[in-house]
Chain A
């Protein structure tokens, strides 16, 4: 299986400056909500839910910071999952919902669903640092990365050439990030 890693579209003009004051204010609220997740104890739902671990909190913070620093609008929802993972949600006016589940250190999964069932939902693995977010895309045999300036900054040891790099796997990529 070959994967291509590309910056997700919202990151192609990295700039926090394009966020207005209101959005920045909401982002600060979002960071507060994420911090609040550490108050949850095991069995927070009374049905055996797991607490949000420190690793998951750090990972969620890094994701939020990367999204904010790269000029993305803040999510409307920050929620814990019963298994201790965390979730950010963006609800769009056309009924599309984008969600990122944080399921490990610097990694997670993007899920996009639509109001009608004619359009198939989309799942994409993601990896991030505080500077960028990467989406894995299947493109054939092996594993490849799209080389960008941001990737050079975060992950200089990933071999690359002509804008496309090849490395040994998604797990290694996540560890490098």
Chain B
């Protein structure tokens, strides 16, 4: 799937849409003073081999996408579902930071998209000298997302 290309399940992505990213309520993933998700929440996890996983936020019931509450309800563990948070990022900010958003149809996750530049395979890849240039690049992009993100659902304090 190419950036901004429609799919059988999804219309093309518009720059004024928001993308949702959920994060668990663990130490340091949310700044309770500033009210922001930290950049650790935007680093690719083991399930993000092809890119950072997000969902398009619904702009009305007709699009079939998820509300932040529905997005959080699809988290993998009960604790995550009950106490985790959801951040939102404008597509326009993702694009202006040099990243792309690609539709990744998943019948269990309406409006599922990937940011391929933030993939775990590059994050883990080592050069022959042992350095991780992909990881540095991804950390910088995650920093950009964290600076632009707003919070839809704050995690519950422990």
A119 to B134, CA, bound (A): 20
* Shortest beta-carbon distance from B93 to chain A in Å: 12
Assess the B26–A45 pair: CB atoms within 8 A.
yes
Q: Does B8 contact A (CB under 8 A)?
A: no
Assess the A89–B75 pair: CB atoms within 8 A.
no
| Most chain B C-beta atoms within 10 Å of own C-beta, residue among A43, A44, A79, A89 | A79
CB-CB under 8 A from A44, the residues of chain B are: 24, 26
A113 to B136, CA, bound (A): 12
> Total interface residues on A, using CB and 8 Å?
31
CB-CB under 8 A from B147, the residues of chain A are: 115
If over half of B's interface residues share one DSSP class (helix, strand or loop), that class is named, otherwise mixed; here it is loop
Q: Does A77 contact B (CB under 8 A)?
A: yes
| Most chain A C-beta atoms within 10 Å of own C-beta, residue among B28, B77, B123 | B28
* Shortest beta-carbon distance from A38 to chain B in Å: 11
A75 to B45, CA, bound (A): 24
Assess the A47–B38 pair: CB atoms within 8 A.
no
A47 to B120, CA, bound (A): 12
Interface mask (B9-45 → A, CB under 8 Å = 1, otherwise 0): 0000000000000011011110101100011100111
9 A–B contacts from the bound complex (CB under 8 Å): A36-B27, A45-B26, A47-B45, A79-B26, A79-B28, A79-B29, A81-B40, A82-B40, A121-B143
Given known contacts A48-B47, A81-B43, what 15 new A-B pairs fall within 8 Å (CB)?
A: A37-B27, A45-B80, A46-B24, A47-B46, A48-B45, A76-B31, A79-B27, A79-B29, A79-B40, A80-B28, A82-B120, A97-B143, A109-B136, A113-B143, A121-B140
